[in-house]
Structure 1
Amino acid sequence: MILITGATGLVGGHLLYRFRESGKNIIATYRDMKSLDKTREIFESYEKGAGALVDTFQWKQSDILETPSLEMAMQNVTTVYHCAAAIDHLPFEEMKNINMRGTENMINVALALGVKKFCHVSSIAALGEAIGNRPVNEDDFFNLDGLNTNYAITKFGAEMEAWRGTQEDLDVIIVNPGVIIGEGNWKSGSGQLISKMASGNKFYTKGSSGFIDVRDVTRAMQYLTESELKNDRYILVAENKTYREVLDQIALSLQKSKPNIQLKSGFLKFIYYLLKVPNLLGFTPRLSMAKVQSMTSKTKYSNAKIKSVLNFELTPVQKTIDRVATFYRQRN
């Protein structure tokens, strides 16, 4: 039996679709019934009318912060895909709770109930910096003393919980996806790349990152978890691109104007210091110096390791953007 947490999110929803005809017993978790509409939209991106398939799965209401509900959901489960996580816009303590304590709970329950394989969705944010000009790879360890975003800190902490599981005889696969592009969840995370460009966004930053199709992420997760591979991590990145390149491609696919106003590092730092005033008054600003750095740094990621084990080719970013933008235009 297979358990998928976060099945109403971008990765979890697309992963659930991959198992639609597998013949395997699947348990998908949710926190509220309304969120299942997000999964239905994801299913519709594959085939018109496929949203109805969502109701053919076994759904269990569960919260990764509540151990009793996890114990009920994980009964008789042999394989876990842990996709539930907080994205980078919540207050630090809330992200820490969901990403770190939630993963701690997942690992503890998996160990207690005898789960055989555990696939943990981490992030390239949990990786360290490369030495010199080479791309970041799986051996680059996170620097806790560096300038890190709150999101990166919590994803690193969550990954450490997954590694702890390996020390207690749990077989673990960790994937570190780049910026995930895919259908669904337009109002949060990477989905906003599409929705904001559709709304006429004119701004870009000079930074760069690694990008990946959500369908490649879920396909790689399934392949790695069903293989004999274990206790290792894999960067999931199809291509390294600048943010401007990606936004330009999205704009063209949506038939919108390209962004033409660069938000330079100096301006973003000025906004950061400006936002420190409300911080002194007790409000939590969304912009940190670490986030300014991540928006403007030009980081590349190596996909050599994942390409050496996969039995399929990763999708070019342009092809992914064209497909996702077409679906967005049909739905909006």
Structure 2
Amino acid sequence: MILVTGGTGLVGSHLLFKLVNEGNTVRAIYRRKETLNRTKHVFSYYSDNAESLFESIEWIEADLNNIPQLQDAFDGISKVYHCAAFVSFEPDRYKTLRRININGTANIVNLAISNNVEKLCYVSSIAAVGHHNNSDKLIDEKTAWNPEDDNSVYAITKYGAELEVWRGTQEGLDAVIVNPGIILGAGFWNTGGSGSLFKKVYNGIAYYTHGTTGYVDVFDVVDIMHQLMESDIKNEKFILISENLSFKEFLSKTAKALNVKPPTKEAKPWLLNMAWRLDWLSFKLFGKRRQLAKQTAKSAISVTKYDNTKVKKALNYNFKGIDKTISQVSQLFSEDFS
């Protein structure tokens, strides 16, 4: 039996659809019952048999830091896809990020070892990959992580989670780590991930930046995860991106697909630097949730390009073009909000 953590998230829900649609026996972890409808809705995009496929999953309510609940979830499990994570770039949420991303992953690794799990796949992020200042040089899996950099709290905890997985491999666990770029997929328009970008573009975004990062289709992510788990590859990590695009390019392509006006004003570095400081001040004075951390503002203007050569060679894999992904996700967005 296969265990999927984070079954009600973007990656987890699409992975579950792939696994059960191919006839696998699957158990999935969820944390709040009301989020289960998200996964069911994702299934409905891709199948007329969504209800039956959803009901074939054995769902278990469990928190990543509740060991008794997790022990029940691991009963009879041979493979684990660890997709669950907390995503936030708000500095004051560091303790929560650490508890879920690092401590929670440590618990998954420990239980995988004690239950003799055959293999584990951990969904990390390109945020946890090392960086450099040469915008002409692609970042790959060997680019060194520098703990002295001004890394975001999210990046720090995802990197810490990777260390827990590597620790597990030293204790006999076979594992693979994937580091996706910005994952584009449908069904999560209000949860703060890439889906919310489509909603923001639809509602109107005035400003763009020339910062660059990597993007990838959610089905590319889950297909590669599955192929890696079924292969003899172990104890390796892989960057998963289809294309490197500037934020202006992505927003313009998405606006065109949604038939709305693209952003026309550039957010200059001085404006972003002022914005994150005002955002910090608003948090300190009025307790408002952070919308723009210092590191997020910096990444918005940073040209960071990633190399997907390793996974393409390892699996002879061809990524879907981002234009096609944006078109398909925009179509599903329009269907949901028509």
Question: For the superposition of Structure 1 and Structure 2, which TM-score range results when normalised by the shorter chain?
Answer: over 0.9
- The residue number in structure 1 matching 2:110 is 108
Q: What is the aligned-residue RMSD (CA, Å)?
A: 1.5
CA shift, 1:199, in A, is 1.1
CA shift, 1:281, in A, is 4.2
SS of match in other structure, 1:19: helix
Amino acid at match of 1:17: F
Q: Deviations over 1:223-277 (max 9, x none)?
A: 0011000000000001001011111111111111111122221111112222333
Are residues 1:268 and 2:272 paired? yes
Amino acid at match of 2:61: Q
Unaligned runs of 5+ in 2: none
Identity %: 39
Amino acid at match of 1:186: W
Separation in structure 1 between the aligned mates of residue 276 and residue 35 of structure 2, nearest angstrom: 34
- The residue number in structure 2 matching 1:156 is 159
Task: Count matched residues.
Answer: 332
Are residues 1:299 and 2:304 paired? yes
Mapping of residues 210-229 of structure 1, within 5 Å: 210-229=214-233
Q: Does the 8 A contact of 2:311 with 2:317 survive in 1? A: no
Mapping of residues 94-105 of structure 1, within 5 Å: 94-105=96-107
SS of match in other structure, 1:298: coil
Match of 1:234 among 238, 246, 254: 238
Match of 1:258 among 243, 259, 262: 262
Separation in structure 1 between the aligned mates of residue 225 and residue 58 of structure 2, nearest angstrom: 21
CA shift, 1:211, in A, is 0.4
Are residues 1:19 and 2:19 paired? yes
Q: Does the 8 A contact of 1:240 with 1:301 survive in 2? A: yes
Q: Deviations over 1:191-246 (max 9, x none)?
A: 11111111122222221100000000000000001100000000000100101111
CA shift, 1:48, in A, is 4.1
Q: Deviations over 1:115-143 (max 9, x none)?
A: 11000000000011146431000001221
SS of match in other structure, 2:320: coil
Q: Does the 8 A contact of 2:89 with 2:153 survive in 1? A: no
Separation in structure 1 between the aligned mates of residue 272 and residue 29 of structure 2, nearest angstrom: 39
Q: Does the 8 A contact of 1:40 with 1:52 survive in 2? A: no
- The residue number in structure 1 matching 2:87 is 87
Match of 2:173 among 170, 173, 185: 170
Amino acid at match of 1:221: M
Q: Does the 8 A contact of 1:42 with 1:51 survive in 2? A: no
> CA 1:148–1:196 in structure 2 vs 1: closer, same or farther (change >3 Å)?
same
Separation in structure 2 between the aligned mates of residue 158 and residue 224 of structure 1, nearest angstrom: 19
Amino acid at match of 1:28: A
- The residue number in structure 2 matching 1:37 is 37
Q: Does the 8 A contact of 1:130 with 1:137 survive in 2? A: no
Separation in structure 2 between the aligned mates of residue 21 and residue 189 of structure 1, nearest angstrom: 25
Are residues 1:136 and 2:139 paired? yes
SS of match in other structure, 1:59: strand
Unaligned runs of 5+ in 1: none
Q: Does the 8 A contact of 1:5 with 1:84 survive in 2? A: yes
Q: Deviations over 1:268-327 (max 9, x none)?
A: 111222233345448363422222111110100000001102244100000000001001
- The residue number in structure 2 matching 1:289 is 294
Amino acid at match of 2:309: A
Calculate the TM-score normalised by the size of structure 1.
Answer: 0.96
Separation in structure 1 between the aligned mates of residue 160 and residue 75 of structure 2, nearest angstrom: 26
CA shift, 1:47, in A, is 2.7
Q: Does the 8 A contact of 1:207 with 1:242 survive in 2? A: yes
Are residues 1:179 and 2:179 paired? no
Q: Deviations over 1:164-188 (max 9, x none)?
A: 1111010010000000001111112
Are residues 1:319 and 2:321 paired? no
Amino acid at match of 1:85: A
SS of match in other structure, 1:45: helix
Amino acid at match of 1:256: V
Are residues 1:309 and 2:311 paired? no
Calculate the TM-score normalised by the size of structure 2.
Answer: 0.94
SS of match in other structure, 1:240: strand
Separation in structure 1 between the aligned mates of residue 14 and residue 290 of structure 2, nearest angstrom: 32
